[in-house]
Every structure is written in C-alpha cells, then in structure tokens.
Amino acid sequence: MKHKISVLAIWFLLDQFSAAVPQGHATPIPETKPLFDLNGIGFVEGVDVPSAKPQPEKAVPKQKNQQTAISENSCIIPNAEFEELEPVSGAIREGQLNDIACGISDPVRLESVSAVGHKIEFSSPVTVSCKFAKVVAEWLREDVLPLALNNLETSVSVIQSGPGYQCRRRNNLPDGKLSEHALGKALDISHFKLGNGTIISVEDDWGKRTKESKFLDRIHAAACKRFTTVLGPEADPNHKSHIHLDTGCHGQDCTYIICQ
Ligand SMILES: [Zn+2]
C-alpha cells in the first residue's frame, strides 16, 4: 500500500499533532469539526447544506485484514491521506434520503492532499468514490495549488466543502434523478483558506476585480478540464455559494462537459 491509511482521530489532524497510527483493529469513527469558523454560514443555498458541525457518518472503515485481502483492488491516490471505507448505500447521515439506489462501492474518506511541500486539508474529510477522489486530488495538486502559488504567492491550506456523498435527488427535490452526490461522484467547495490565512469565499469573492476572484476563475476553468460538470455562481442561484464538481455522464458517450 503506497498511500498512508490514516486511522487517526481527525482532531489529531486538526490540532496538527503527529502521532503514531494505531493499526490492526476497527477504529471508532471520529466526530469531525471545521478547521476554521465560518460563523455557521458556509453553504446557504438549499441544495448542499452541510451542518456547521458535521454529523458523524454511519460509514465504516475497513479493517486491516480486509484491506490486505483485497489489496489488488485497493484505492491508490498518490500524496493523499485517506481512509478506505466499506461500501456505503442509502443514508449515512441523518436527514438524507434512504434510497438503495444511492451508494458507493469503493468509498474513501479523503482528508488531505500534498504537493511540493504543501498540504491541503479538507475542513472535514469528504466521503467520495476512490475514482472521484483521484480526480479531486489531481486537480488540487496540479491546478489549485500551483495557481495559488503562482498568482497569490501563497499555498492553499484548507478547503471548506460539503460532505461529498449525500443520498438525495438533484437540487434536493423530492422527485427526479439522483444527484451525483448520491453516487459519491460529486463535491461542493465553498471556501479556500490560504497559507497566509486569507479565506477566499466563492460567494463573496466571485466576479470581482481582485486577485482572489481571478484565482476562482482560474481554478474553475481548470476544473472543466478534469470534471464533466462544473457549476459555479454563474450557473444558477443554487450555486451562488459554492463550486459543484462532478464526474457524471452527459451525452450518449459521456464526453459532454457542463462548465458554467
Ligand atoms: Zn453539488
């Protein structure tokens, strides 16, 4: 296993302790908390609403012996800290739709991505499919971090996002197609905390004549080369507070890109 399977309680990460990783037994799922206080604002539209203090998920980490047994199929995400989970389906948080059509066969809880000596942490780990996590990690490593270093002269240290997996339909409607969030193939990002402490808000900084706004434009454009759906504040009012990224299939051969 090349990646670092982290079974650290997340508050160890948040407090920036380093500690020995307990191995070889099932680990209780830690309760998580945001790395920086957004005064409970975060997401305000009615679609992707993580609680200010995320609820613990009913997603179960794989035990070490199970990881060994399926090592041929294990998830590999270079330079990332993540935890492989048992397959999930239906609701894993209170308030979610409990539809068996929702689920991820290869879920991971992605905690951070590192490149060129910089670590980008998620304010709370995100639960997504292994394949989707790889795309997110590549975008962060190869686009987001270099764009920040080159244009803002600082790194990106924390990403405030939704939880990733959510069993629900598109736009939280009672009927209609399942959201890509329900398949672990989507993520919503609302804020970027930079290495110098600055917080860039999608809602507040989008569309302005500032370097922060230009940064958001650039990472949005870069995302359109990696994801099949990228929806920012110009897409519709549902996305005024965040950038939605997913790898859903559009068109008959899944090559159509929605970049708004
Ligand atoms: Zn979304």
Q: Is 245 helix (H, G, I), strand (E, B) or coil?
A: strand
Ligand 1 centroid to Cα of residue 23, in Å, is 34
User: Which of 33, 31, 129 minimizes the C-alpha distance to 84?
Assistant: 129
Ligand 1 centroid to Cα of residue 84, in Å, is 22
pLDDT bracket for residue 28 (50, 70, 90): very low
Ligand 1 centroid to Cα of residue 224, in Å, is 15
Q: Is 209 part of a structural domain of the chain?
A: yes
Ligand 1 centroid to Cα of residue 89, in Å, is 18
At residue 71, the pLDDT reads: 52
Q: Is 27 part of a structural domain of the chain?
A: no
Q: Is 25 part of a structural domain of the chain?
A: no
Ligand 1 centroid to Cα of residue 155, in Å, is 25
Pick left, alpha or beta for residue 171 (phi over 0 → left; psi -120 to 50 → alpha; otherwise beta): left
Return the minimum-mean-pLDDT range out of 10-14, 77-81, 234-238: 10-14
Task: Tell me which residue has tokens 């962060």.
Answer: 140
244-253: per-residue pLDDT in tens? 999 999 999 9
CA dihedral (93, 12, 144, 211) positive or negative: positive
Q: Is 26 part of a structural domain of the chain?
A: no
CA dihedral 219, 220, 224, 229 (to 10 degrees): 130
Ligand 1 centroid to Cα of residue 38, in Å, is 19
Number of structural domains, the chain?
Answer: 1
Average pLDDT over residues 103-130: 97
Q: Is 186 part of a structural domain of the chain?
A: yes
Q: Rounded to an integer, what distance in angstroms lies between the CA atom of residue 24 and that of residue 20?
A: 13
Q: What phi and psi values does residue 137 have, to the nearest 5 degrees? A: -65, -40
Q: Are strands 4-5 and 80-84 parallel, antiparallel or unpaired?
A: parallel
Q: Is 163 part of a structural domain of the chain?
A: yes
Ligand 1 (ion): residues with CB under 5 Å are: 48, 188, 244
Ligand 1 centroid to Cα of residue 191, in Å, is 14
Written as six digits, the tokens of 7 are: 């079974």
> Kindly report the CA angle at 203 between 192 and 165, in degrees rounded to 5?
65
Check pLDDT > 90 for residue 86.
Answer: yes
- What element of type H or E holds 238? none
Q: Rounded to an integer, what distance in angstroms lies between the CA atom of residue 30 and that of residue 78?
A: 24
Q: Is 159 helix (H, G, I), strand (E, B) or coil?
A: strand
> Kindly report the CA angle at 78 between 129 and 19, in degrees rounded to 5?
95
Q: Is 30 part of a structural domain of the chain?
A: no
Ligand 1 centroid to Cα of residue 70, in Å, is 31
Q: Give the residue numbers spanning the domain of 149.
A: 4-19+35-259
% of the chain with per-residue pLDDT over 90: 62
Pinpoint the alpha helices (H) of 47-99: 64-69
Ligand 1 centroid to Cα of residue 135, in Å, is 16
